[in-house]
Structure 1
Amino acid sequence: MNSSHLSPVSFVKPAVDAELAAFARHQRARLGEIGPELTPVVDALDEMLAGGKRLRPAFCYWGWRGAGGHDVPEIYAAAASLELLQACALIHDDVIDNSDTRRGAPATHRRLAGVHTAAGWGGDAGAFGRGAAILLGDLCLSWCDEMYQRSGLTDEALRAGRGPFDLMRTEVMAGQYLDLVGQARGEATAVAGEATGTGEQPVTVAAALRVMHYKSAKYTIERPLHMGAALAGRHDDLAPIYTAYGQPLGIAFQLRDDILGVFGDPSHTGKPAGDDLREGKRTVLVAETLRRADPADAAEFRRHLGRADLNAETVAWMREVIVDSGALRTCERHVDDYVEQATTALDNGAVAEEARAALADLIVAATSRKY
């Protein structure tokens, strides 16, 4: 197959999908030996794995190719293990955010709550669904390590790749905790501001960027690239280049995702319009809005942020505040600036030419999603 005929993600996706399908079949058989009660759990995993864009495996693969690695089956298996880490993060994130949907389908905990309801079991179906989803997320975290180790790459390569692989898993969990802390602090500050009349802001741009950096940006792009380079034996010389490319691109990717979380078409995003506002996500877009809006609008915006019962009219008003304050325009400008930084960093002969072209195309794939 000639990669020039396909996008960098499309080139990687079929082999990654095949590796994931084979791994899931193996785990289905293993869990089936324990008991038929586990079948709905694997069904939920299949549903989660079916809809991924495969960005993280793509960055790992092209990080490997950029380091001189060949197109061999083993790299696809190692890269595919990142989709299990992603599944873990998404399943747990939906539980934490109490999200109803993911990619246009019921979130995993909602799906598993439905199993409880359909079976007519006793107790709280919602609590069952949340508990079962947490356990499935834990399985995915364990399985990502198992899939990595069973990829077929040499022991030397796997030892080299272990550093960025382990660090990536630590960072994404730490980023998720920072997100929780940010929301708790923001809500407490908002309540205190209302009580004292100080009007303090519940989130700052710097705090939102720190959460974004660890929860999403590093583990979506930078660390997969580092992992690919390490597996190919060139982590030390390529890591600085991949960081200069991956960090700004990762932030641009998440900024675009946050914009879509408020303004995106549900038929494309798979979530109800304005769902991030209902969930009260403390994003850079929200921080810029609170920083730039007039005090009365900012106070009213804070009052609505995080309310699960937001109706369409209120969501429309909050969008209007975001636009009128200049926050949307500012975030779009940030995306452009970060894309320029990533593009400049990629102009380096140390990265193999075919991979440089693929990584340039991935800039577009990661940031050009529209409303």
Structure 2
Amino acid sequence: MTYPPAAGERIDMTGVREQVDAVLEEFLASKAREAAECGHPPEVVPVVRDFLAAGGKRIRPVLCVVGWHAAGGRGERHAILRVAASLELFVTFALIHDDIMDDSATRRSRPTVHRLLAKRYADHRRPERMGADAALLAGNLALIWSRELLHSAGLDADRARAVHAVDDTLQAEVMFGQYRDLLGGDRFDEDVEAALAIVRYKTAGGTVQRPLQLGAAVAGAGPDLANVFTALGLPLGEAFQLRDDLLGVFGRPDSTGKPNLDDLREGKRTVLLALALRRADAEQQATLRALVGRADLDEGDARRIRVVLETTGARRGVEDMITARYRRALRVLDEAAFAPAPDAALRELALAATAREV
């Protein structure tokens, strides 16, 4: 299809995902060849490639390309596709490390990278530690490669500076958000605002706001559009994570690809749990404090927690927060008056991010 789409056409988001995947596959194939030539351990590149192939909605790369369209991007697609693909490698790095920190067993319905590598090194004197260390380094390579893709996008000097500035901000925000999440792991309280701050930095900016701004920067857009994408991206990114937190407790593992006990066993500091604790009576608070964060929590315990989340209205409250943020994003789109194709794509992505089935 033409870039930008002609009047009446829509952005082919399935096609964008396929094009981004093709960039990633070609790039990682070159890394596999380089590793073989150097005699590096042969499993490292396949671990990253298999992680990418296992799934993922590619929402950040798609938003990056849609942001490029919204900013009037046109012509040759080499640069925007490489910038978009770099986002997926950064996400790969972040998720591999996140799974190590949480000691998660599965991701995308498969064993996590550190568990896979621990199994590979089962004969090692400390296989679990070896798996975590190896996964840490594989994740670091994904981060390095994300930067390499960005540097190889072929942008002129001004656009390259703008793109790298947004990407630097994105990466720093996600790391600080992760740090906030780490610090909050031992504080199970009713501070909804603190839980929202973790959402804002760990997820909202890096999922929607910054990918849109990256695409706009590739197209050469200025600060006015970046501000619009902040007004649009933060509420949508927050809604995306709020929905993810609901899925983490009420979701079906066969649909989400993750167990629905992990967040409760970890005692993950979510808006959902903070809101429940704030609204709970003494008996309900006692139930939450006794069960949330227990490593041996079973499905029966989880059902008791879910009852509290329902009866306190916390689940409904989070749904209301998602709806409010979705409506705020629609108001921004109404005022922005983008061209029909990117406007339709942004509205579709907004709905997809906030209305995923529990």
Query: Structures share a fold, TM > 0.5?
Result: yes
- Amino acid corresponding to residue 175 of structure 1 in structure 2: G
**Equivalent position SS for 2:258:** coil
**Partner residue in 1 for 2:129:** 127
Aligned AA (1:13): R
Which one of 157, 160, 182 corresponds to residue 159 of structure 2?
A: 157
Q: Secondary structure at the match of 2:159?
A: helix
- Alpha-carbon RMSD: 1.6
In the alignment, structure 1 residue 43 sits paired with structure 2 residue 46: yes
Tell me the CA shift for residue 228 of structure 1.
Answer: 1.1
Q: TM-score, normalised by structure 1?
A: 0.91
Give the corresponding residue for 1:195: none
Looking at structure 2, the residues matched to 97 and 295 of structure 1 have their Cα atoms a distance apart, in angstroms, of 30
Q: CA deviation at 1:305?
A: 1.2
CA distance in 2, matches of 1:84, 1:177: 20
Q: Which amino acid aligns with 1:278?
A: R
Check if 1:302 corresponds to 2:306.
no
d(CA) in 1 for partners of 2:228, 2:301:
44
| 2:264 is aligned with 1:284 | no
Hey, what's the Cα distance between the residues in 2 that align with 1:147 and 1:233? 19
Q: Does 1:52 align with 2:39?
A: no
1:361: which partner in 2? 348
Query: How many angstroms does 1:215 deviate by?
Result: 0.4
- SS of 2:121's partner is helix
**Structure 2 letter corresponding to 1:316:** R
Instruction: Tell me whether 1:91 sits opposite 2:93 in the alignment.
Output: no
User: Which aligned runs of 4 or more in structure 1 are off by greater than 6 angstroms?
Assistant: 2-7
* Alpha-carbon contact 1:8-1:58 (below 8 Å) kept: no
Determine if contact 1:203/1:282 at 8 Å carries over to the other structure.
Answer: no
The amino acid of 2:177's aligned partner reads G
- TM-score with structure 2 length normalisation? 0.94
Pairing 1:110–2:92 present = no
For 1:312-351, list aligned pairs within 5 A. Answer: 312-349=299-336, 351=338
1:5 Cα deviation after fit: 7.5
Judged with a 3 Å threshold, the aligned counterparts in structure 2 of structure 1 residues 337 and 112 are, in CA distance, closer, same or farther, namely same
Aligned counterparts of 1:307 and 1:7: Cα–Cα separation in 2: 46
Alpha-carbon distance, 1:269 to partner: 0.8
Deviation at 1:152, TM superposition (A): 2.8
Gaps of 5+ in 1: 187-200
SS in structure 2 opposite 1:52?
coil
- Residue in structure 2 matched with residue 190 of structure 1 by the alignment: none
Residue aligning to 1:30? 34
Structure 1 Cα separation of the partners of residues 243 and 328 of structure 2: 16
2:26 is equivalent to residue 15 of structure 1: no
C-alpha displacement of 1:92: 0.4
2:331 aligned counterpart, secondary structure: helix
Question: How many pairs are equivalent?
Answer: 352
Shift of 1:73: 2.4
Code of the aligned partner of 2:114? H
Report what 1:63 is aligned to. Answer: 67
Q: Secondary structure at the match of 1:152?
A: coil
- Provide the residue aligned with 1:246 in structure 2: 233
What's the secondary structure of 2:209's corresponding residue?
A: helix
Whether the 8 Å CA contact 1:277–1:315 is kept in 2: the answer is: yes
Of 138, 152, 157, 1:136 maps to: 138
- Contact residue 304 and residue 310 of structure 1 kept, 8 A: yes
**Aligned partner letter, 2:16:** V
Task: Report the Cα offset of residue 99 of structure 1.
Answer: 0.3
1:264 is aligned to 2:266: no
Post-superposition offset of 1:36: 5.0
Identity %: 44
